[in-house]
Each structure stands twice: as structure tokens, then as C-alpha cells.
Chains A and B, each alone.
Chain A
Amino acid sequence: MKSVNQEAVEHDPQQLHEELHDIWGNPKGIKALTIVNHTTLGLRFMVTGMVFFLIGGILAMLVRTQLAMPDQDFMSPDIYNQVTTMHGTVMMFLFAIPMLEGLAIYLIPKMIGARDLVCPRLTSLGYFCYLFGGIILTFSLIIEMAPSSGWFMYTPLSSSEYAPGLGSDFWLLGITFVEISAVSAGVELVVSILRTRTQGMALHKMPLFAWYILAMALMIVIGFPPLILASVLLELERAVGMPFFEIAGGGDPILWQHLFWLFGHPEVYIIFLPAAGIVSTLIPVFAGRPIVGYGWVVFAIIVTGFISFGLWVHHMFTVGIPQLAQAFFSAASMLVAVPTAIQVFVWLATLWLGKPKMKLPMLWVMGFLIIFVCGGLTGVMLALVPFNWQVHDTHFVVAHMHYVLVGGMFFPLIAGLYYWLPLFSGRMPSENLGRWGFWLTFLGFNGTFLIMHWTGLLGMPRRVYTYEAGSGWEIYNLLSSVSSFVLSAGIAMVLLDIALHFRFGKPAKHNPWNADTLEWANSMPPSAYNFISLPNVETRHPLWDDPKLPYTMAEGKHGLAVPVHGRREMWGTDPITGKVREIIHLPGNSWWPLLAAAALAVVCISLLVRVYALAGIFVLIAGVFLLRWSWENGAHPIAAPEAAVAPGDPPLHSRTMDGPGLWAMAVFLLANGSFFLSYLFGWFYLWTVSPEWRMPDTSPLSLPLLAAAGIAIAAGAVVMEKLVRGLRHQCDDRLRVGLYLAGTLGAVQVALTAWVLYSANLSPTQTSHDAVLLVGLIYVLFHGGLAVVLTLMQGLRVGYGYVGTHAPFEPAVVTQLWRYNVVTFLVLVGSIAILPRVVGG
């Protein structure tokens, strides 16, 4: 029997390259918009992120110019508020996260020995959502209608009473649109890391960078939905008057703060973790030895990922929370220093025991260590409640935040860009220009923000557009502003160096830093398919242990060097052991992601200008595009024209019961569950805390009808489970009829729930109670409707021969949604219809 490794098979490397290029190569011209390849899209994410970084940087310069001297009128107060809000928003949402996601999208498949991410069309959809959302948001600056309530958009400042224009709407709709991108990337990075590592790469052998990105991606999946929910609720309040955050209507503005910081604090670590991953990758390479304490780093990553979700209230110490609750969050805030300190000591120990070479990337790593440790220490200070009260809303907090985010993200990012530049371009950067860039940035940064700690301690509040002469803050602000321009000069020099190196940089030799990870087994710059053959990797340092590996991979001496079938293929492996399970075949270039993102952009703009009919039409159009996209998957002739594999090779994933789509659905439902739990948190929070909350004497929701709906959805789920069990046992008798039956039961549940909603006669613009009920019922209606459509579509696909015992995979994916719907429906009914009847208002 032929081994999956296919060692010792002779191939002509040039012919293999040409054949693989025919399958994986990127089209040119207008068709370049259809590209789904991770290398191209990763670069697009990063280039777009850098454009937004420049916009955010210019806004920062405007802020510092305004604050350089007292009593300046360079900007009006309103414009200043727009500029500061957009600086924070652009840097956080349009630069930091997409940039790091872009780097991960580019690097992860190369590092784990795969040819692409597992959902390439999702990468493309994510990119276009990011691009369109970013353009919509920044367009508000041009028309001087940008959001002006601060990057955290606190209510009631951002509510229609105090922010009557379109500024807040731009933020809420634009950011939500961009977050589709973030969650998409999160889902596929999780599944790619767990299921597409090359054979033999067990979980405990994978590169540390992959661990960091796995944690980051899971944190995005769980951390972003609370903000998506908050944005939806606030937009509903602004657009139609549902009083979620208005005291008079039974809402509470503090609910916004909880939902925002439930996202906002983990986000700091979502930004920090991949940057720390860069540091953990670079230090061993330049120290010339394996990292000290791989297991300790894995431990620290996991701890950070969890503990960072327990700190959100430390942003709210001044809003009037009981002291004991503040003490819980103060302690948790201090705890998160432990895993961070572990990583710092691991990095120092690796440098101590190795022979560090102070090349350009290492200069930025050293800058990171100094700045980030300082930022971490002021973070521990801010975790102490009394100190936090003293400096709340002062420039001290602004300085701390920049030490953490610029030190913790920007410095490692530049280190990583310099390190991987030869991989991107095949050329080396200029050491001289790079060093000038580093020192100007380092000195300029500390000159700007170290001094800002002092202005903060002297009492200067943040978000004020000017200050009076004689306040004692003049000299500090002037020094900060001058230093900020030095910082800008440094960054300009770095960007110049990177731009020039594409033309003038010395050609890089192969693996120029003598790195140990698989991305350096690529050609430089990489081909669209990454590797001609996929190796067996059972070590953490494949290129150190076998320096000839890149050459044998390029000669086709390892797995999957058989392109004759015309499919885009890579290994699907066991998430723990790395043993090969199946061959994953990936979809090719497509217009659907672009079209779906464009339709969603029209929805976003229509909601912004409040043409709701148009928004509704384009929601349907986007739905049609997405359904057509999903139609071409699995056993569809476009996805896999024929299912034959080489003798001895495992089957195609679409012919098994455990393809990556199953995992992607599970991770997506994790995000969805986070959204649902945030909703429940909002319900119970308002019920418990809101001073004007009004619970009606009798619930307006009909329990008998809800019970009937519950029976219908449970029966539909049972039918789906039975069908999937049959497919698992190679039986597809009455599969189509069963799917139609389940779809019909789902439709009954939707109809009954809709009847409950209609008969409840809610007044969602009068009380937050009714508004919350409405949102909850719409949530289950949407999910019920989605399950019906997907199930009926499965029935159709059985008829076309795309689903059956030969391709049993898809009903299992849809069944997961059914399970989720049953659980959420029952929990929702229990929370909003039964519990109020039991405990009363």
C-alpha cells in the first residue's frame, strides 16, 4: 500500500511547479478581485491596515498639534472630538486587529505546512467586509460627520440626545461591518490551526506562533460578539427609539459600558498575544537556541486568554460598583500580570542562555521589552482601586494605554515585518535606515508618552480640546508634541526603508536568519501553493533538525505532490496527534465573496441613511449570494469534479463525516453563543439593576404557543439527528423526505414564534422590557428561519446527488445548527417567558 508520505517517489520539480501553479495561481486584471489565496489576501490585509495606520497617525499628529500650546484654536472642540474618536477607532479596529490578522492569515498555513487556510472564500469575504467597512467609516471624516463620543462610544454621550447627527451611526454600523471580518478570520484560523497542520505535527510540536494565534482567534470569536450586540442595541435605540440605554424607558447607560468592556479588555490581549507570538518566534532564532520553557509559554498563553475576560470592570471602577466587586476585579487584574511575567522571563532566559545577534528585528524586540514592561507595571498600578480613582480619565491612562498597545503591539509588529520581509519580497532591508528608524521611533515614543504620565499625574484630563495657560501643563504638552513629531519621523523612515527595499534591497539568501520554522521552506517570495509537497514533521524545529527539508519538499519528495486531479488539496489532520485523517479539497477563486460583501455594504449604507426598504432588499440579495456560494461546496462538480484519490491516500473530506466545515460551524456557533449569552446578560442586568425597569404583571408571551414551538423545533432536531446517524451507518434511505420533514417542523416553529410575537402586542419604543423581548424573539426567528432554509437546501442537494452516503458530511453540519437552536430557544423561553412568571418583577 502506498504511504501517505509518498517518500522516494521521483518527480520532476519544474513540471510539478507548473502543474500546481495552473491549479493555485492567481488571475490578473479584474479577476484579481476573485483571488482567495491566503498569501495574497494576507498581504492585502496588511497593506490596507498600513493605509489606515497612516490615516490614524495623521489624526494623532493633529491632536498633538492642538495640545502643543494652551488656548489653541487650531481645531474647534467638535472637530477635535471627531479627530480623537477616529484616531482611537481607526488604530484599534482598522489597523491593529486587521494588521495582525493579516499577518496570521499570511503566515499560519506556511508555518504549519499547509497550502492555504481552510475556508479561503471566507478569507476573501472578510477582507472585503473590512475594506468596505473601513471606507464607510473613514468617509465620515471627509464629510465632517465622524463619530465624536470617544472610541468607546459611551452612552448617553453617543445616544441620539447628545449625538444627534450621523456620527455615532457611522461608528456603530461601520465597526459592526468590520467585525464580520474579524470573526470570519477568527473562525478559520482556529479551524486551520487545529485541522490542517502537516502530518506528524502534534499539538505539542506546533510552532509557538500558532499557539498564540489559536488563542487570539478564539478570543476574537468569544470577545467580539458582546460589542456586536451592544452596537446593534444602540443603533436600534438611535434609529427607532428602543430605550436599551435610557433610564426613563427602563434601560441603563452602564449596560453599554459592561458590553463594551466585555469586548474591550480582552481586545488588548487579542492585540498583544500575536505580537508576543512574534517575539517568541524571533528571540530563539536570533539567540540561536530553542526557547526556554515551551510548555511554560503554552501555559501563559492559555492563562492570558482566560483571565483577560475577567478584568472588564477595572475600566469602570468609578461608576459606583460595590467595593467587594471592585476588589474581585482588582485582584483579577493583578493576576493577569503572572502569565505576562512568565513570558518575559522565558524571553530573558532564552537570550541569557543563547548567543543573541542584535540584527534589526532584535532591536525592535528589545524596544518592545523595555516599553511593554513599563506599560505592564503602570497597568498593575491601575489595577489598584484607589490609584485608579485618582488618575481615572487623565492623561496617565492615555500614556499607560499607549505604552501597552504601542509597546506591546507596534514594536513587535515592526520586528516581525523586518524579520519576514525577505519572505515577502526576497530582498533584505537596509540596516542603516532601519536603525535610524528604530531610534527615532523609540526616543520619540518615550518623549511623547513618558511625559504624558506626568501631565496625567498633574491632573490634566483626557479628551479636552485645550487647556488654560498657567495650569502648569504647558511645558509637558509642548515636549510631548515635539516628541510625537520625532516619533512620526521615525515611523516615516521605517516605511521608507520598507518601500525602498522592494527596489534596492539586497537579494536575500534562502532562510536568511537561519530560522527553524516551516515558512522559510517556501520560495522567496512564496508561490501561490506554498509547498510542492507536504512533509512529515515531528519536531518543533524542522529546519534546524533537517536543513535539507526545503529542498526535498521542493523536489516533491513528500506528501500530496500529485496535482493531476486539478483539485486544491492539503492534509486534514488529527487536531491532537497530527495524524492524517483526510484530504481537504479547497474551493478556488470566486466572485461570491466580493458580491456578498458588496451587498452587505449597501445594507450598511442603507441603514445609515435610513432607507430601510433598500436595506431589506439587499439583505435578501446578500443571502442569495451566500447560499449560492454554499451550493458550490462539498460534492458539487465545481468543488470536486471527481473524488478519486491516489491508492493509499485518505478520502476527500467531503466524503467523510468530519470535514473542516463541521469544525467551522462549531466555532461559529461558539461566537453565536457568546452573542446570545451577552443578550441574556443584558436582560438580567436591566431586570436587576435598571432603576426604572418595568416588568409587566403578566408576561405578554403566550406559554402554550411557545411550548408548541418548542415541541416543533425539538422534533425537527430529532429527525435531523436520526438522519445523520443513518448516514454514519452508510444508510440514506428516505434522506430527502426526512430533510423536508425536518424543514417543515422548523417552519412550524418559526410560524408559531412569529405568532407569539404578533400576539404579544409589544411596545418596544416605550419600555426596554418589551424592546429586549423583541430582540430575543427576532433572534430565535432568524436562527429558526436559517435552519429551515439550509435544511430544505440539503433536501434539494440530495436530489442533485451532492449529498448521500457517498458524501454524508453536510447534514451533520446543519444538525449542529439545529442543536444550537433547540438549546437557545429553550433557554430564551425559560429566561423571558417562564422566569418572570415564577419570580415576578
Chain B
Amino acid sequence: MDAMLKRLHLTHPLHFVVGLTLWCIWFIAVYGGHAVACEAFAPAPEQGVFTLLNGGLLIVSIVTTGLLLLLTWGCYVVAKQHQGRDRFNAVVSAGLYLFSAFSVVFVALPIIGVPPCL
């Protein structure tokens, strides 16, 4: 249990991979969800981008971005409280969470401009 709690601490290097793993899960969910939705119940092309599908993908993206930004802030705050190895780990983790959040936003941008199943 102690070992598990240590791993959850924001100075643990496990956080080097958590943010980008979340990005991967988000990416698979959005790409896979979009592909399945287009096969199962594709919205009419004349609906343009204002479809339930685009809306759903956008909400998932916003929630993921929010979570990643929250973790970025947490690592940043923790980094300021430490020195040496712990500070290094927290700073790199903060950067990786921030980049993951940016990656979600950047990859999700087409959702607001491209109809889903063309």
C-alpha cells in the first residue's frame, strides 16, 4: 500500500508516462469512437459540424484537457516545494502533462471545423 501511495505522489517518475498515456487513451477513444459511430449511425452530411458526434468528441476532449491541466498545475506546485531528484521529476512531469494537454487541444481542433463522416 505504501509503495502504491508513493507511486501516486507527483514526484514519482511514474508521472513521466501518465499524461501521455492519458493522451493515448483519449486518442484511441476519439479515433475509435468516431470510426464506430460513422459505421453505426453516421449523421447526414448536410448537418455539417453541428452533430451529436462532434459534440461528444469535443466534450471528451475538453474533459481530458482539463484533467491534464489540473495534473500540470499539481506537479508545478509540488516541484516548487522540492529540490534535487524530486524537483527534477516533478518539473519534467509538469512539462509532460502540459504537452499532453496541448496535444489533446491541437489534435482535437478539427472537431470544430470538419464534419464527422465525410
Q: A323-B114, A335-B106 are in contact. Are A302 and B85 (CB under 8 A)?
A: no
1/0 contact trace for B26-62 toward A, CB 8 Å? Answer: 0100111011101110000000000000000000000
> Is A689 in the interface zone, CB < 8 Å from B?
yes
CB-defined interface of A18-59 with B at 8 Å, one 1/0 digit per residue? 000000000000000000000000000000000000000000
With contact pairs A323-B114, A332-B107 given, residues A306 and B35 touching in the complex (Cβ less than 8 Å): no
Q: Which of B31, B89, B96, B114 contacts A204 (CB 8 A)?
A: B89
Say yes or no for B92: interface residue by CB 8 A criterion: yes
Beyond A204-B88, A335-B106, A576-B13, whether A306 also contacts B20 by CB under 8 A is yes
B36 touching A688, Cβ below 8 Å: yes
CB contact under 8 A between A331 and B107, given known A310-B24, A325-B31: yes
Question: How far, in Å, is A370 (CB) from chain B's closest CB?
Answer: 27
Q: A202-B85, A295-B91, A298-B92 are in contact. Are A310 and B99 (CB under 8 A)?
A: no
- B1 → chain A closest CB, angstroms: 14
- Give Cα A623 to B41, complex, Å: 49
- Given A302-B20, A322-B116, A576-B13: A328 in contact with B30 (beta carbons within 8 A): yes
Decide yes or no whether B70 CB sits under 8 A from chain A: no
CA distance A307 to B38 in the complex (A): 25
Q: Most chain-B CB neighbours within 10 Å: which of A299, A305, A309, A689?
A: A299
A576 to B92, CA, bound (A): 14
Tell me whether A203 is interfacial, beta carbon within 8 Å: yes
- CB-contact partner of A325 in B13, B34, B103, B106, under 8 A: B34
B95 interface residue, CB < 8 Å from A?
A: yes
Chain B min CB distance to A451 (Å): 34
Question: Is A324's CB under 8 angstroms from B92's CB?
Answer: no
A322 to B16, CA, bound (A): 33
Q: Could you say which residues of chain A place their CB within 8 Å of the CB of B13?
A: 203, 576
Ordered by A's residue number, 16 sampled pairs between the chains whose C-beta atoms are within 8 Å are A203-B89, A295-B88, A298-B92, A302-B92, A302-B96, A305-B20, A306-B20, A322-B35, A322-B116, A323-B115, A324-B111, A324-B116, A327-B114, A328-B110, A332-B103, A576-B85
Contact with B along A278-316 (1 / 0, CB 8 A): 000000000000000001001100110111011000000
Q: Once the chains are docked, how many angstroms separate the CA of A611 from the CA of B16?
A: 49
User: Could you tell me the distance between the alpha carbons of A306 and B40 in the complex, rounded to whole angstroms?
Assistant: 30
- Find chain A residues with CB under 8 A from B36 CB: 688
Query: Which residue, A323, A328, A331, has most C-beta atoms of chain B within 10 A?
Result: A328
Q: In this assembly, does A606 line the interface, its C-beta being within 8 Å of a C-beta of chain B?
A: no
Contact indicator A331/B16 (Cβ below 8 Å): no
The answer to the question of B78 belonging to the interface, with a C-beta cut-off of 8 Å to chain A, is: no
Q: Is B118 an interface residue (CB 8 A)?
A: yes
Chain A residues in 8 Å Cβ range of B23:
306, 310
Q: For residue A321, which residue of chain B has the nearest CB? A: B35
- Contact between A688 and B35, CB atoms less than 8 A apart: yes
CB-based nearest B residue for A294: B88
Interface pair A331/B116, CB less than 8 Å apart: no
Cross-interface CB contact of A322 among B24, B32, B34, cutoff 8 Å = B34
User: A341 contacts the other chain (Cβ, under 8 Å)?
Assistant: no
* B contact residues around A299 at 8 Å (CB): 92, 95-96, 99
Verify B99–A323 contact, CB threshold 8 A.
Answer: no
Q: Please measure, in the bound complex, the distance between the C-alpha atom of A327 and the C-alpha atom of B27, giving whole angstroms.
A: 12
Q: Which 9 A-B pairs have the closest CB atoms?
A: A327-B110, A306-B20, A331-B107, A204-B88, A324-B114, A323-B118, A688-B39, A299-B95, A310-B27
> Taking the complex as formed, is B109 at the interface, i.e. its CB lies under 8 A from any CB of chain A?
yes
Task: Give the total of B residues in contact with A, Cβ under 8 Å.
Answer: 37
Cβ of A302 and Cβ of B39 under 8 Å apart? Answer: no
Q: Is the C-beta of A645 less than 8 angstroms from some C-beta in chain B?
A: no
Which residues on the B side are within 8 Å of A708 (C-beta)? none
Chain A nearest CB, measured from B111 CB (Å): 7
Give the Cβ gap from A257 to chain B, nearest Cβ, in Å.
14
Instruction: Say yes or no: A332-B27 contact (C-beta < 8 A), given A295-B88, A303-B99.
Output: yes
A338 within 8 A of B: yes
Q: Quick check: is A577 within 8 A (CB to CB) of the other chain?
A: yes
- In the complex, what distance in Å separates the CA atom of A306 from the CA atom of B23? 9
Minimum CB–CB distance from B24 to chain A (whole Å) comes to 6
Q: Which residues of B have CB within 8 Å of A576? A: 12-13, 85
Task: Report how far A689 CA is from B88 CA in the complex, Å.
Answer: 46
Give bound CA distance, A323 to B113, whole Å.
Answer: 11
List of A residues within 8 angstroms of B32 by Cβ: 684
In the complex formed, the residue of B with least CB distance to A335 is: B103
B67 within 8 A of A: no
- Cα(A324)–Cα(B88), bound, Å: 38
CA gap between A161 and B91 in the complex, in Å: 56
Whose C-beta in chain A lies nearest to the C-beta of B107?
A331
Task: Provide the bound-state CA to CA distance between A328 and B116, in Å.
Answer: 11
* 6 other A-B residue contacts (CB within 8 Å) besides A310-B107, A331-B107: A295-B95, A306-B23, A322-B35, A322-B117, A324-B34, A576-B12
Interface string of B61-104 (1 = CB under 8 A from A): 00000000000000000000000010011011001100100010
Q: Which of A307, A322, A324, A688 is the one whose CB lies under 8 Å from B103?
A: A307
B83 to chain A, nearest CB (A): 12
Most buried by A among B12, B99, B106: B99
Q: Which residues of A are found within 8 Å of B109, using beta-carbon distances?
A: 331
B106 touches A303 (CB 8 A): no
User: Which residue of A is nearest B28, CB measured?
Assistant: A310
Smallest CB separation, A482 vs chain B (Å): 43
Q: Is the CB of A309 within 8 A of B24?
A: yes
Q: Which residue of B lies closest to A205 (CB)?
A: B85
A518 CB to closest chain B CB (Å) equals 19
Tell me if B8 is interfacial: C-beta within 8 Å of chain A: no
* Chain A residues, Cβ within 8 Å of B114: 323-324, 327
Task: Report the minimum CB–CB distance from B30 to chain A (whole Å).
Answer: 7
Report whether A324 and B115 are in contact in the complex, using a CB–CB cutoff of 8 Å: yes
Q: Chain A residues with Cβ under 8 A from B39's Cβ?
A: 688-689
Within the assembled complex, what's the spacing in Å between the Cα atoms of A203 and B17? 14
Shortest distance between the CB of A687 and any CB in chain B (Å): 10
A324, B56: Cα distance in complex, Å: 14
**B88 x A331 contact (CB < 8 A):** no
State the CA gap A689–B27 with chains docked (Å).
19
Q: How far is the CA of A328 from the CA of B58 in the complex (A)?
A: 13
Minimum distance in angstroms from A673 CB to a CB of chain B: 13
Q: Known: A203-B13, A204-B89, A688-B36. Is A335-B107 also a contact (CB below 8 A)?
A: yes
Smallest beta-carbon distance B20→chain A, Å: 4
User: Closest chain A residue to B98 by CB distance?
Assistant: A299
When A306-B24, A324-B34, A325-B31 are in contact, do A338 and B89 touch as well, CB less than 8 Å?
no
Shortest Cβ distance from B108 into chain A, in angstroms?
8
Name the A residues within 8 Å of B27 (CB-CB): 310, 328, 332
Expressed in whole angstroms, the Cα–Cα distance for A335 and B34 within the complex equals 21
CA distance A310 to B24 in the complex (A): 7
**In whole Å, how far is B64's beta carbon from the nearest beta carbon of chain A?**
14
Tell me how far the C-beta of B40 lies from the nearest C-beta in chain A, rounded to whole angstroms.
Answer: 8
Instruction: Contact check, A306 vs B31: say whether CB atoms are below 8 A apart.
Output: no
Q: Kindly list chain A residues whose C-beta atoms are within 8 Å of the C-beta of B21.
A: 306
A286 CB, min distance to chain B CBs, angstroms: 26
Q: Do A303 and B85 touch (CB < 8 A)?
A: no
Cα-based distance from A165 to B41 in the complex (angstroms): 43
Question: Could you give, for residues 366-405 of chain A, a 1 whenever the CB lies within 8 Å of some chain B CB and a 0 otherwise?
Answer: 0000000000000000000000000000000000000000
- Specify which of B24, B35, B115, B117 lies most central, judged by the most chain A CB atoms within 10 Å of its CB: B35
B60 shortest CB reach to chain A, Å? 13
Distance A322 CA – B106 CA, assembled complex (angstroms): 18
Contacts of B31 in A (CB 8 A): 325, 328
A261, chain B: closest CB distance, angstroms? 13
Measured in the bound complex, the distance between the Cα atoms of B17 and A325 in whole Å is 25
- Cα of A392 to Cα of B113 in the assembled complex, Å: 25
Convert A243-261 into 0s and 1s, putting 1 for each residue whose CB lies closer than 8 angstroms to a CB of B. Answer: 0000000000000000000
CA distance A310 to B23 in the complex (A): 10
B88 neighbours in A (Cβ, 8 Å): 204, 295
Report chain B residues within 8 Å CB of A577: 85
CA distance A307 to B89 in the complex (A): 20
Among residues of A, the one whose C-beta sits closest to the C-beta of B103 is: A335
Residues of A within 8 A of B99 (CB): 299, 303, 338
